[in-house]
Amino acid sequence: MDRQGGHLETAAAGEGGCILRLGGRLDAYTVADLWPRALKVLETHRETPVQLDAGEVTYCDGAGVALILDLLRRPRTPPVTLVNVPDKVQRLLDPFDAAALAAPPPPRAPRQGVRRRLGEAIQGLGQGLHAQVTFIGEATAALVHALLHPRQVRWGDAVLIARRAGADALPIVGLIALLLGVILAFQSAVAMKQFGAEIFVANLVALSLLRELGPLMTAILLAGRSASAFAAEIGTMKVNEELDALTTMGLDPLRFLVVTRILAALLVTPLLTLFANLVGLAGAAMVLLTFDIPLVTFVNQVSQSVSLTDLAGGLVKATVFGLLVAGVGCLRGLQTRTGAAAVGEATTRAVVSAIVLIVAVDGVFAVIYFHLGI
Amino acid sequence: MPADPSHTGPVIQVQDLTLGFGGRPLLEGLNFDVHAGEVFVLLGGSGSGKSTLLKHMIGLYEPLAGEVRIGGEVLTGSEGAARRRILRRFGVMYQSGALFGSMTLLENVRLPLEAYTRLSREAMDLVARLKLQLVGLAGFEHHMPAEISGGMQKRAAIARAMALDPGILFLDEPSAGLDPVTSADLDRLILRLKDILGMTFVVVTHELPSIFTIADRVIMLDRETRGIIARGAPAQLRDHAEHPWVRRFFNREATEAA
């Protein structure tokens, strides 16, 4: 019993019944202790009359009202009766019907059956594929239109996006490329030193970076930075009805938003890849210096081992990766649904889809280059 | 009855409050009190700083000078347990409702109870159901916010703000974006809560019919003078305001609204 807070006392009544006296302050903090004690009293006097006496209640809020109504709504014979209710508490109780509260609220909509969910998932996949094919067609048309009518392209936006996706990405691309070159050269040099073949580490690193790792690593970084940014920007615009505003103004969101982003990505991805290749080679050169291979030797070895075709092959791949990253980022942004979680979901889907596509297309390039003898 | 009886005097005191951003004042030297059980309305033209003042009153922003007291305790600059104790004294309904989209209405209303009380899950559910019933949303406990209308979302937001039975409710443009019927329903709900629970309301609104229905007192903020240009009961300001902008605001709009 706590006279400062709420209190609960029991007293015997006629016919083996019980009087349950609630008093003091009944609020969300005090009723936490009183509630289980009151329910225990009801449990003890399951088949005898119980009177709930609220005469000593000095303060009552919503939680106190909930406690009183909970005791009154319990299905029992005879039901709990409420007596000595102060006017102020009665006014708080008036809007509620204890009998109506005995029934649980309407349940959530039942979960759909497995077959229905499976069907909807397949339908969703089909619709997603349809949307992707439609997007590829529309984006291609928009790009062709942009090439035929370059003055209609919003070059200012494209340059701004290119700066954000390209120039602003230089530090992270440079850092990762440097570390990649260092690690690749060091791991290879340790193994090849056993055969006295450290000199060929330059060949290995140069070929790996220019043909494979440079474009791949740059594209994955671009997916993490720019595909997510494109999806979030366009997704937020969709949630804010900015895309609807563009459409009703007669401006095609694809030409207005997607073309500029794809053009920017097409421009910056090969440049970033070139930068990554150079920094990666610099990292490898630094490592080989510690293995007593001078810089001149490294440069000679690199220039003999790789051709312009290797470099161009890597840059072509990088350009295609850039197209994929920008396209997927924009597509996921355009597919954003409503709600606070939608933009986050679109961003995640953009990054995951872009990375999967990059790796898959890299495999296709490997087969094509093999057959072309590149 | 939920109003805390231990505190006497104004439930909110705004004293010499200067607010703004980047050191530049938007409103200067504001002084006013809000008394227990009244509906106090903040008025002003667009950009006059009504919502900014409200956000200073609930402690979201720190003022450039002055202080806000809630229930006699200084909210401005408070920290830790003292701040949490003051924050429990009031609830806030944001303009958009700000319901958590991933939770049902019942879960939204239950959240403050989970954070602040030791009630059992069953007890919290019952308290949340009662709050939803009080705002006319019985039967919608398991609906998601996206599944109900804007007016219902605002009512659910009021239910959430009332979860811990605060003595004060701050409402930021409760009628914005609602049709006149839903807006009038919301006004009736405010008056009902004031009548049944004795709550104090601080409301930011532009809606003249709503002001004349619910407001006990209003203050009108002015961007140019950076202060309060009128204060009093709405009818008194409509009939006797000296400031021409206040007269225009009340009389012209009031005539149209009637």
Residue B73 falls inside a structural domain: no
Which positions in chain A have a beta carbon within 8 angstroms of at least one beta carbon in chain B?
Answer: 27-29, 31-33, 35-36, 59-63, 65-67, 69-70, 88-89, 91-92, 94-96, 100-101, 105-108, 338-341
Q: How many residues comprise chain B?
A: 258
Min Cα distance A161 → chain B (Å) is: 29
**Residue among B56, B46, B72 nearest B21 (CA):** B56
What pLDDT does residue A207 have? 94
Domain count, chain B: 1
> Per the CB < 8 Å rule, is B119 touching A35?
yes
Quick check: A166 and A271 in contact, CB under 8 A?
A: yes
**Residue among B187, B189, B183 nearest B215 (CA):** B187
- Which residues contact residue A292 at a Cβ distance below 8 angstroms, ignoring those fewer than 6 apart? none
Q: What are phi and psi of A24, to 5 degrees?
A: 80, -145
Kindly list the residues from chain B whose CB atom is less than 8 angstroms away from the CB atom of residue A67. 123
| Sequence ranges of the domains in chain A | 6-102, 119-372
Domain A6-102, what architecture? Answer: 2-Layer Sandwich (3.30)
Beta bridge pairs of residue A53: A21, A83
For residues A21-46, average pLDDT: 88
Residue B188 falls inside a structural domain: no
Residue B255 falls inside a structural domain: no
Question: Which ipTM was obtained for this model?
Answer: 0.79
pLDDT digit of tens for each residue in chain B (258 aa)? 444 555 678 999 999 999 988 778 999 999 999 999 999 999 988 888 998 999 999 999 999 999 999 999 999 988 888 998 898 889 999 988 889 888 899 999 999 999 888 899 999 999 999 999 988 898 899 999 988 988 899 899 999 999 998 999 999 988 887 888 888 888 988 898 888 888 999 999 888 888 999 999 999 999 889 999 999 999 888 888 888 888 888 876 544 444
Beta bridge pairs of residue A22: A8
Q: What are phi and psi of A211, to 5 degrees?
A: -85, -35
**B100, amino acid identity:** F
What pLDDT does residue A308 have? 93
Q: Rounded CA gap, B86 and B183, in Å?
A: 30
Closest-CA residue in chain A for B99?
Answer: A340
Residue B106 falls inside a structural domain: yes
Peptide bond into A78 cis (omega under 30): yes
The parent domain of residue B145 ranges over 99-165
